[in-house]
Structure formats: structure tokens, C-alpha cells
Amino acid sequence: MNKKKIVYIDMDGVLVDLQSDIDDWLKTHSDEDVAKYKDNHDLIPGIFRNPKPIWGAISAVKKLHESGKYELIVATTAPWDCPESNTDKRYWIEKYFGDLFKKQMIITHRKDLLYGDYLIDDRLANGSEHFKGELLHFGYNHETKQYNSFPDWYSVLEKLL
């Protein structure tokens, strides 16, 4: 019997289009509110609860699941100073994936400690760059203003299927 490969999937910037919700929030709130969260958008109340998915993410993850080749696990980091984000992230996963990730979700600031074959992540923070399997550096890097090695879910599916 072949053992399934383990794939960890980050949320923000990989499954979740958090940046668009942050941008929308900043446009629709008062200057006073914007100034309050200027240096830490992660603390905006409820910001993690209802953002839209990244284009193609939901169908791509379902294709990976249906392939039967992988054990899929969400591996996300939640802001330490915003503990309600843990719950919001779980509700988001259940809204879009139902039971697909039931008890298959890890919230960590140390992705370098995860044991598995692949990590799909948009950033090199929180231990991602030292993940012991293969990092599939995903999406758009807002810091360098460039696309990473795996710019979209099509490129991930090409690699894994």
C-alpha cells in the first residue's frame, strides 16, 4: 500500500484573499480607524472571518483531495495578539471546505517543525523557508512586488497531479 504524501497548505495569501479584504476595510472606514490599525492590519476586528478565497483555490484543493495521493492539512499562522483569529480561521475553513479539513488544521508560528512532503505558502516567515520538505512558494509577494515560483493554483496542480 502506498503511503499518501503530506501537503500542508497555508491560508492567508494561499487559500484566502485576505489582502483584498484589508484593502476594502481601509477604504471604507474612518481615518481614525485606519490610523488605529495602520501598523497591524491583523488586529482589525473580524478581518479573518469572511474574506474571499484566492481564485482557483477551492477547486484546486478539492482536486488534490480527490486524487487520493495526498493527506491535506491546513498549516496557518494566526496573530498572537488576536486570539479570535484562530476561531475565525476555523470557521472560514468549514465554510468553504465542510469536513475536508476536520481535525486537519494546525495553527503554528513554527512551520519549520512540521513533518511532511510539501508546504504551500506565500511567505518565507514563521519557519516556512526552513520547512524540511519541499516549499511550493506560492502567489504574489507583496514585499518584493513579484510572483513567487508557483504563481497560482494551476502551477501547483501541474506540480502535484
Choose the catalytic residue: 12, 21, 121, 122.
12
pLDDT of amino acid 1: 59
| Helices (H), ranges, 15-152 | 18-28, 31-36, 57-67, 84-97
Q: What per-residue confidence (pLDDT) applies to 143?
A: 78
Which residue in this structure is represented by grid cell 505558502?
121
12 is catalytic: yes
pLDDT score at 145:
87
Catalytic residue among 10, 17, 88, 121: 10
Residue 142 pLDDT: 77
Establish whether 10 is a catalytic residue: yes
Amino acid occupying residue 90 = R
Joined together, the cell numbers standing for residue 75 give: 498549516
Which residues of the chain are under the pLDDT cut of 70?
1
- What is the per-residue pLDDT for 141? 85
